[in-house]
């Protein structure tokens, strides 16, 4: 600790903010590791079964870490939270398009891009405090911490009724990332205001009515969960509501006035539409095999749905947006696919068509 006293941490904090911005993180805040805001809301959400089958959220060890980040890094003195915009030129209103993909997934996978930038930021910090040993952990949607809660605590914005972190004047189309670090920076002032006011646009627009009153979501019904994390089938009563979404859903963000306003003046960023999305064709994707899926989507967030989940999504979307060109690949799945769940879905698509 004596060594830290020789470093002007306030000056360093300002330097880190400047460096983070030059790397593309348009918002950055500092907080302490004394636990997130609203942990109880998260705990109730888990206990009420709203996390669906996401067992990585409900394991006792990960719950404990979410409550106390020092269980992840005992030497942690500060948490740096950064936000990077992902919409190339304002968000795309994809609601009239088929198929529909959540805006965050139209670029390359942020799990590949952002850690490299965090690494550069860490190297910058290390170079500034040398020879003090820097202990740290970095996450971007990859570890057991409550990112949005920490972002609010670090002063970035508030958690809207759609459950997203909303940055004033900028909206919610941001990736969040965190650096847990052993340097004792002064925390920034937490964000206390709530600019949702009487607005209920996100709640009113959600196709499956899964946004709950306490700013949480029932994942069991959320299209984002059903088409990404869900490893099972999609309940028949929800299939129609999924409409043309083949990966994720962001209706509750697209309708938010803060995003509509933001889309007119987007922050610059480097997430551009990936080649796999540019070349997307549902007929050929209905025919791809596992290794072709890997080649095409390994660098895309779509890979997270896994091969069977992705085909499942295509079939549900095809059933809701039938076109004659889909007949041949769907019959092929019905007659030849090894997976009974996909065969059942193919039968569902064809039944829909002839009803």
Binding site for ligand SF4 (CB under 6 A): 160-162, 196, 199-202, 206-208, 210-211, 217, 222-224, 249-252, 255-258
Q: Which residue has the tokens 């869900």?
A: 230
Can you tell me whether residue 307 is helix, strand or coil? helix
Question: What is the spatial distance between Cα 45 and Cα 51, in angstroms, rounded to a whole number?
Answer: 7
Other Cβ atoms within 10 Å of 322 Cβ, number: 15
Cβ atoms of 223 and 208 closer than 8 Å: yes
Apex 244 CA angle, 242 and 245, nearest 5: 65
- CB nearer to ligand SF4: give 255 or 330: 255
Q: Which residue is nearest to ligand SF4 (CB)?
A: 160
Cβ atoms of 135 and 78 closer than 8 Å: no
Q: Which residue has the tokens 């997270």?
A: 304
Strand partners, 27: 83
Tokens of 331: 């019959």
Of 300, 329, 336, whose CA–CA distance to 314 is shortest? 329
Residue 179, Ramachandran bin (φ over 0: left; ψ between -120 and 50: alpha; else beta): beta
CB of 62 to ligand SF4, least distance (A): 22
CA 143, 145, 146, 150 torsion-angle sign: negative
- CB nearer to ligand SF4: give 197 or 268: 197
Q: What is the dihedral of CA 47, 301, 317, 278, to 10 degrees?
A: 160
CB of 100 to ligand SF4, least distance (A): 10
- CB nearer to ligand SF4: give 258 or 307: 258
Among residues 95, 141, 186, 204, the one annotated as catalytic is 141
Tokens of 196: 């949702």
CB of 208 to ligand SF4, least distance (A): 5
CB of 191 to ligand SF4, least distance (A): 14
HSE-up (13 A, CA, CB side) for residue 19: 19
CB of 90 to ligand SF4, least distance (A): 16
- CB nearer to ligand SF4: give 210 or 326: 210
CB of 112 to ligand SF4, least distance (A): 23
Helix (H) or strand (E) holding 40: helix 39-47
- CB nearer to ligand SF4: give 129 or 256: 256
- CB nearer to ligand SF4: give 31 or 243: 243
Q: Is 285 a catalytic residue?
A: no
CB of 101 to ligand SF4, least distance (A): 12
- CB nearer to ligand SF4: give 162 or 182: 162
Strand partners, 88: 90
Catalytic residues: 141
């Amino acid at each position: 600790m004596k060594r830290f006293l020789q470093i002007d941490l306030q000056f360093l904090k300002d330097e880190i903010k400047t460096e983070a911005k030059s790397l593309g993180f348009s918002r950055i805040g500092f907080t302490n590791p004394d636990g997130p805001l609203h942990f109880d809301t998260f705990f109730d959400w888990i206990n009420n079964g709203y996390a669906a089958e996401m067992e990585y959220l409900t394991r006792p060890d990960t719950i404990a870490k979410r409550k106390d980040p020092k269980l992840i890094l005992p030497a942690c003195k500060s948490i740096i939270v950064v936000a990077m915009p992902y919409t190339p030129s304002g968000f795309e209103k994809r609601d009239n398009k088929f198929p529909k993909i959540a805006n965050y997934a139209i670029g390359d996978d942020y799990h590949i891009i952002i850690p490299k930038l965090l690494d550069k930021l860490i190297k910058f910090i290390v170079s500034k405090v040398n020879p003090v040993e820097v202990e740290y952990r970095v996450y971007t949607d990859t570890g057991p911490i409550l990112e949005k809660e920490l972002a609010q605590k670090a002063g970035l914005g508030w958690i809207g009724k759609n459950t997203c972190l909303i940055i004033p004047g900028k909206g919610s189309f941001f990736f969040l990332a965190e650096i847990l670090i052993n340097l004792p920076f002064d925390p920034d002032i937490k964000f206390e205001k709530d600019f949702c006011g009487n607005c209920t646009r996100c709640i009113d627009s959600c196709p499956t009515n899964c946004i709950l009153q306490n700013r949480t979501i029932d994942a069991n019904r959320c299209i984002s969960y059903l088409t990404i994390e869900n490893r099972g089938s999609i309940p028949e009563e929800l299939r129609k509501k999924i409409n043309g979404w083949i990966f994720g859903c962001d209706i509750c963000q697209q309708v938010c006035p803060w995003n509509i306003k933001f889309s007119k003046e987007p922050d610059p960023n480097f997430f551009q539409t990936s080649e796999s999305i540019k070349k997307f064709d549902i007929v050929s994707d209905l025919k791809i095999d596992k290794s072709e899926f890997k080649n095409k989507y390994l660098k895309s967030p779509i890979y997270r749905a896994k091969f069977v989940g992705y085909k499942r999504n295509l079939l549900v979307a095809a059933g809701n947006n039938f076109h004659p060109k889909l007949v041949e690949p769907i019959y092929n799945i019905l007659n030849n696919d090894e997976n009974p769940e996909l065969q059942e879905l193919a039968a569902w698509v064809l039944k829909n068509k002839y009803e």
